[in-house]
Amino acid sequence: MKKYILDLKLTAVERLHERYVLLKATDCQKPLPEMQPGQFAQLQIEGSKQTFLRRPISIHYVDRKQNEVWFLVQTVGDGTRQLARMQAGDTLNVILPLGNGFTMPSDASARVLQVGGGVGVAPLLYMGAVMREKGIEPTFLLGARSAGDLLQLDKFRALGRVFVTTEDGSMGEKGFVTQHSLLQQEKFTQISVCGPKPMMVAVARYAKSADTPCEVSLENMMACGLGACLCCVEDTETGNVCVCKEGPVFDIKKLKWQI
């Protein structure tokens, strides 16, 4: 897919919770390029002395009617804090779309489970929307530390079935996503996961034992995001490969995780 460097204009900056912000950006000149669920963008950070490189952020949602691309950002350091300080009307320079997305089911009878943890829910919204367009109802299993960390629930609910776990029990079932009763009750034909590594490993373990194809989205540290610097590598069955180019989405069978 052709990649673009674009100067986008922010149409909205919504603070969802203390540590999360939703950025909506548009291209004032032309339609946004085609993007696939699971792909990401490299965002340029202005005005942060400590931030030298761009920051990889998933495509959270693409609103074709408004010609908007959305980014869901958790503030963890200086770069993401600077993103959270931006305002509607500001210019955001992005490179997109990057990497390979999740495998999209071709068959309307597919039963796809999308598992997200924390800000890892970001790419799943767009994936759910694309599935919906194809007439497949997605099932979301979303986990977080606490109710306040569950993001965009209303948006997910508008697209499909939503199941929730929180570590403190403040919403949904108490515990981790892999402990949710749903996994005992239903079988899926495909599982797509994005979240903290320990969570993805646990889901991968479940998928393996249930013999269900499973893809995970990795978040290795990146410099270029273009497959040029070889900084973001993951050790796989075929040696070190660039997460930014060969991933960020990988079939768990390709990874050397101990599952």
Partner 1 sequence: MADLRTNIAGLQLCNPVMTASGTFGYGLEFQDFVNLEQIGGIIVKGTTLQPRQGNPYPRMAETAQGMLNCVGLQNKGVDYFCEHIYPQIKDIRTNMIVNVSGNSPEDYAECAARINELEHIPAIELNISCPNVKHGGMAFGTTTDGAASVVKAVREAYKKTLIVKLSPNVTSITDIALAVQDAGADAVSLINTLMGMAIDAEKRKRVLSIGTGGLSGPCVKPVALRMVYQVAHAVRIPVIGLGGISCATDAVEFLLAGASAVEIGTANFLDPAITVKVAEGINAYLDRHGFQSVKDIIGICE
Ligand X SMILES: Cc1cc2nc3c(=O)[nH]c(=O)nc-3n(C[C@H](O)[C@H](O)[C@H](O)COP(=O)(O)OP(=O)(O)OC[C@H]3O[C@@H](n4cnc5c(N)ncnc54)[C@H](O)[C@@H]3O)c2cc1C
Ligand Y SMILES: Cc1cc2nc3c(=O)[nH]c(=O)nc-3n(C[C@H](O)[C@H](O)[C@H](O)COP(=O)(O)O)c2cc1C
Which residues here bind ligand X, judged by CB under 6 A? 40, 51, 55-58, 72-74, 76-80, 119, 122, 219-222, 248
- Closer by beta carbon to partner 1, 77 or else 169: 77
CA distances from 79 to 29, 45, 53, 153 (A): 27, 6, 9, 26
Candidates 5, 88, 210, 229; binder of ligand Y (CB under 6 A) is: 229
- Closer by beta carbon to ligand Y, 108 or else 228: 228
- Closer by beta carbon to ligand FES, 171 or else 223: 223
- Judged by CB under 8 A, the number of residues near partner 1 is 31
Provide the binding-site residues for ligand FES, judged by CB under 6 A.
Answer: 222-225, 227-232, 242, 244
Query: Applying CB under 8 A, which part among 146-154, 157-165, 201-209, 230-238 lies near partner 1?
Result: 230-238
CB of 52 to ligand FES, least distance (A): 14
Determine, following the binding rule CB under 8 A, whether residue 8 of this chain makes contact with partner 1.
Answer: no
Q: Out of ligand X, ligand Y, partner 1, none, which partner does residue 238 contact, by CB within 5 to 8 A per kind?
A: none
Query: Applying CB under 8 A, which part among 2-10, 23-31, 105-113, 248-256 lies near partner 1?
Result: 2-10
Question: What string of H, E and C letters represents the secondary structure of the chain?
Answer: CCCEEEEEEEEEEEEEECCEEEEEEECCCCCCCCCCCCCEEEECCCCCCCCCCCEEEECCEEECCCCEEEEEEECCCHHHHHHHCCCCCCEEEEEEEECECCCCCCCCCCCEEEEEEHHHHHHHHHHHHHHHHCCCCCEEEEEECCHHHCCCHHHHHHHCEEEEEECCCCCCEECCHHHCCHHHHCCCCEEEEECCHHHHHHHHHHHHHHCCCEEEECCCCCCCCCCCCCCCEEEECCEEEEHHHHCEEEEHHHECCCC
| Residue 59: alpha-carbon gap to chain centroid | 7
> Which residue has its beta carbon closest to ligand Y?
229
State the residue for tokens 């993007």. 35
CB 217 within 8 A of CB 120: yes
- Closer by beta carbon to ligand FES, 16 or else 231: 231
Q: What would the x/- binding string for ligand Y be over residues 102 to 131, using CB under 6 A?
A: ------------------------------
Determine, following the binding rule CB under 6 A, whether residue 5 of this chain makes contact with ligand Y.
Answer: no
CB 238 within 8 A of CB 200: no
CB of 133 to partner 1, least distance (A): 27
Q: Out of partner 1, ligand FES, ligand Y, none, which partner does residue 88 contact, by CB within 5 to 8 A per kind?
A: none
Q: Report the site for partner 1 in 18-47 (rule: CB under 8 A).
A: 44
Phi, psi (degrees; rounded to nearest 5) at 105: -65, 140
Candidates 20, 37, 39, 51; binder of partner 1 (CB under 8 A) is: 51
CB of 45 to ligand FES, least distance (A): 16
